[in-house]
Amino acid sequence: MISVLQHRGLDSAGVALYHKEDLPNEEYIIKVFTQDVVGALSKVSTAIATAGGDIRSIEINTMRGFGFDRYVIRTSLNHLKNVVENVGSTGIAKILSIGKRMEIIKNIGLTEELEGNFKVSEFIGTHGIGHVRFSTESTVDLLHAHPFQSFLYPDIALVHNGQITNYWKVREKLERKDVVFETDNDSELLVHYIVDKLKQGESLEEVLKLSVKELDGPFSYIISTLDSIGMVRDKLGLRPLVVLEGEGMYAAASEENALRTIKHEGKIRNLKPGEVVCWKKN
């Protein structure tokens, strides 16, 4: 689907994918990007251990002088923030995703490079979201590539098309609650905004409806959780979002041709301006 949509963005490609089962006990999958492969494994491993993480396994993936490594660690949810901060303080590493079942895989370049480097099509799971990016305002690099997540709330990821024009107003409110931003991408703002509302006890559907009212600008976005996918189109309908609802298959995309390529029978329709849709896995 994202290969069909490649013309919408050539800067980067990425996916958030969900395994069928949770890891046992207090174990988490942590994907780490390192800018200096030499010595990175030792520094990252030390940082995780110092933050109270017990490393259960490591998978090394190196390309073009960078590391895209997969750690499985045992730690408490309360210690995850310390793990993120410690890994970031190494100066050579950044965490790309944390989850019980979710993994984010993203790269600068085209979808065929993402597939060639990470074999995304071989993944077997329950659901996922993907994105190809065309940068309109913020930097083109791995950290600005989609999907985004909040490290304080594992297993949630988001992809976004458009702009949030009251970005600074909303960001200042979140920063007063000690939310830490990794980038200046307004897509990151969206995931922090949603997580903040979820932590207050709102349901995913309620939060998405609030976002239509409280966020300004032309946008559509899709968010995934352990058991749900939700999507929103801005109140004026300025950014496209199309859904397919079929027998045993639900899909969404910014263009109908991406839905047609999966060749699955079902009803295809455009979301209405301001509409919210939530699908929950059985």
What is the share, in percent, of the chain residues with pLDDT greater than 70? 97
Residue type, 278: C
Mean pLDDT of 64-79: 88
For residue range 182-191, what is the model confidence (pLDDT) as tens digits?
888 888 899 9
Between 64 and 91, the higher pLDDT residue: 91
Name the β-bridge partners of 74: 27, 54
Q: Where in the chain is the domain with CATH 3.30.70.260?
A: 25-99
Please list the alpha-helical segments (H only) found in 108-219. 111-118, 167-175, 186-199, 204-214
Q: How confident is the model at residue 136 (pLDDT cuts 50, 70, 90)?
A: low
What global pTM score does this model have? 0.91
Angle at 145 between CA 182 and CA 124, to 5 degrees: 115
Query: Which amino acid, one-letter code, is at 240?
Result: P
CATH architecture of 6-22+105-280: 4-Layer Sandwich (3.60)
Do 227 and 281 meet the contact criterion of CB atoms below 8 Å apart? yes
Residue 137 pLDDT grade (very low, low, confident, very high; cuts 50, 70, 90)? low
Q: How far apart are CA 114 and CA 158, in angstroms?
A: 18
Provide mean pLDDT across the span 39-57.
Answer: 92
Contact between residue 74 and residue 51 where contact means Cβ atoms under 8 Å apart: no
pLDDT tens readout for residues 220-249: 999 999 999 999 999 999 999 999 999 888
pLDDT, tens digit (0-9, with 9 covering 90-100), for 259-270: 999 888 899 999
In the predicted model, is pLDDT for residue 173 greater than 80? yes
Mean pLDDT of the region 40-66 = 90
User: Does the pLDDT of residue 274 top 70, yes or no?
Assistant: yes
Kindly state the percentage of the chain with pLDDT values over 90. Answer: 59
Confidence tier at 110 by pLDDT (50, 70, 90): confident
Cα 218 from chain centre: 20
Kindly give the residue spans of alpha helices, DSSP state H, lying in 104-166: 111-118
Q: Please state which of the four CATH numbers 3.30.70.260, 3.40.50.300, 3.10.20.30, 3.40.190.10 is assigned to the domain occupying 25-99.
A: 3.30.70.260
Q: What would the pLDDT profile of 152-164 be if each residue is shown by its tens digit?
A: 788 999 999 999 9
Per-residue confidence (pLDDT) for residue 8, from 0 to 100: 83
CATH 3.60.20.10 positions along the chain are 6-22+105-280
Instruction: Report the C-alpha gap between 189 and 77 in whole angstroms.
Output: 22
